[in-house]
Amino acid sequence: MSQNERAVTEPTRITVTAERTYDVVVGRHLLGELPGILGVKVAKVLIIHPESLEATAQTVREDLLAQGYEALLAVVPDAEASKTAQVLEFCWQILGQADFTRSDAIVSIGGGATTDLAGLVAATWLRGIAVVHLPTTLLAMVDAAVGGKAAINTAEGKNLVGAFYSPVAVLCDLVALETLPKWDLIAGLGEVIKTGFIADPVILDLIQAHASEFADWPAASDELWTALRELIERSIRVKARVVSEDLREASLREILNYGHTFAHAIEQVERYQWRHGAAVSVGMVYAAELARLAGRLSDEAVDRHREILSSVGLPTTYRGDRWEKLLAAMHRDKKARGAILRFVVLDAVAAPGRLEGPDPTLLAAAYAEVSREPPGR
């Protein structure tokens, strides 16, 4: 398929059923969808974006202005630095000074951190206004923008302050990935691979079939673009199905946190210098080792974790001198109940379950397994 043929491919619409039903649209050149989503009742739009995407945000703003909307920009820090109470308050100030009402809307442009922040801004302003996400990274497309979880970080941990608040739409424009740096793409594959392990083994087969090609990104062949689109759509379908059954993480939705208990601990200990997908990669290996030590997962399945993740350049090990700090961070995880740690584990590929209150010796032994070799990021 040529570049021109890719440009005219019809978008895919994946429906998420939550407190409101919305579509995740996957395709190319999707900006024209935005006015139809916002509708005629919206008068004002606040576009929240990191400074690195100023040109993209200006293009969106100019298009909205041409459609008759009043469009403002809110420039926020890149990455996790945007997910603070101070930045949240900054966005509130803009909304208040511009007299935003419940019939107005927010548009987010950026990666997962921007999506998390913008979702919480929308959820909290006047107890909820519309938000449309335009994710620009692979991780945001398959994870942060879908499912309606919005949050900021505190000194005590990641995503501890937040809300469940669904967008009115998500537009995953694949054109944004054409200029995505290689390591950002690889980090995003961590979340893609996660959905393969918990629910869709075809994702794992696709990753293995194209692993060597990801090393040449962004010089992607037409075949790799086709595979990448299928990976994105499959990952979104997994999340859409789970979220539609369990919006507020009462039970089933917890499986989407596979690898995340240990991953969030790494991110906090490393002061968010690790990319989320890289931390999730190590977190999945930790969870797999924990399940193996508990007698629930085979050696072959654990080995497959390391094989697939390392094949695309994701880390599978972590330094061995941080256990006490990591353990303390895991006790602050959202899935913990009192002093009892709870982990999403696998009994087999695509057969997730939970492990509650594992013996401390198992926790330490699993850590020893992921710190046997020098870590590679």
| Half-sphere exposure of residue 25: CA atoms within 13 angstroms, side-chain side | 22
Q: What pLDDT does 7 receive?
A: 46
> What average pLDDT does the chain have?
91
Instruction: Give the model's confidence band at 211: pLDDT under 50 very low, under 70 low, under 90 confident, else very high.
Output: very high
Instruction: Give the model's confidence band at 103: pLDDT under 50 very low, under 70 low, under 90 confident, else very high.
Output: very high
Q: What average pLDDT does this structure show over 290-313? A: 97
Ordered domains of the chain (ranges, CATH) = 3-180 (3.40.50.1970), 191-370 (1.20.1090.10)
pLDDT at position 298 over 80:
yes
Q: What pLDDT does 9 receive?
A: 75
Q: What pLDDT does 167 receive?
A: 95
Radius of gyration of the chain (CA): 20
Q: What average pLDDT does this structure show over 74-83? A: 93
Instruction: Give the model's confidence band at 194: pLDDT under 50 very low, under 70 low, under 90 confident, else very high.
Output: very high
User: By the 8 A CB rule, do 196 and 352 touch?
Assistant: no
Q: In 3D, which of 251, 268, 278 has the Cα closest to residue 344?
A: 251
Q: Which letter does DSSP use for residue 148 in this model? A: -
- The SS3 call for residue 353 is strand
pLDDT at position 203 over 50:
yes
pLDDT at position 377 over 50:
no
- The CA-atom distances, in angstroms, between 80 and each of 131, 166, 198, 297, 333 are 20, 21, 26, 34, 17
Q: What pLDDT does 159 receive?
A: 85
Residue type at 124? T
| Half-sphere exposure of residue 325: CA atoms within 13 angstroms, side-chain side | 15
Q: What is the rounded distance in angstroms from the CA atom of residue 55 to the CA atom of residue 101?
A: 27
Q: Which letter does DSSP use for residue 337 in this model? A: B
| Half-sphere exposure of residue 16: CA atoms within 13 angstroms, side-chain side | 29
Instruction: Give the model's confidence band at 201: pLDDT under 50 very low, under 70 low, under 90 confident, else very high.
Output: very high
pTM, entire model? 0.90
Q: What pLDDT does 325 receive?
A: 95
For the CA atoms of 192, 195, 196, 197, the dihedral, rounded to the nearest 10 degrees, stands at 120
Q: What is the rounded distance in angstroms from the CA atom of residue 1 to the CA atom of residue 5?
A: 6
pLDDT at position 4 over 60:
no
Q: Which two tokens stand for residue 152?
A: 């900021």
Q: What pLDDT does 58 receive?
A: 95
User: By the 8 A CB rule, do 192 and 214 touch?
Assistant: no
Instruction: Give the model's confidence band at 373: pLDDT under 50 very low, under 70 low, under 90 confident, else very high.
Output: low
Active site residues: 127, 149, 191, 239, 249, 253, 257, 260, 264, 276
Q: In 3D, which of 36, 139, 126 has the Cα closest to residue 79?
A: 139
Number of Cβ within a 10 Å radius of residue 68: 9
Q: What is the rounded distance in angstroms from the CA atom of residue 101 to the CA atom of residue 237?
A: 33
Q: Does a cis peptide bond (omega within 30 degrees of 0) precede residue 50?
A: no
Q: Which letter does DSSP use for residue 140 in this model? A: I
Q: What average pLDDT does this structure show over 209-224? A: 90
**Residue-wise pLDDT tens digits, 144-168:** 888 888 999 988 888 889 999 999 9
Q: What pLDDT does 249 receive?
A: 56
In sequence order, what DSSP letters do the residues of 298-322 get, joined into one string?
Answer: -HHHHHHHHHHHHHTT------SS-
Query: What percent of the chain has a predicted confidence (pLDDT) above 90?
Result: 78
Instruction: Give the model's confidence band at 260: pLDDT under 50 very low, under 70 low, under 90 confident, else very high.
Output: very high
Q: Which residue has the higher pLDDT, 31 or 364?
A: 364
Q: β-strands 105-110, 130-135: how paired?
A: parallel
**Residue-wise pLDDT tens digits, 304-341:** 999 999 999 999 999 999 999 999 999 887 666 667 89
User: By the 8 A CB rule, do 145 and 188 touch?
Assistant: no
Q: What is the rounded distance in angstroms from the CA atom of residue 150 to the CA atom of residue 83?
A: 10
Q: CB within 8 A of 8, min separation 6: which ones?
A: none
Alpha-carbon torsion 66, 70, 75, 81, what sign?
Answer: negative
Instruction: Give the model's confidence band at 374: pLDDT under 50 very low, under 70 low, under 90 confident, else very high.
Output: very low
Q: What pLDDT does 338 receive?
A: 62
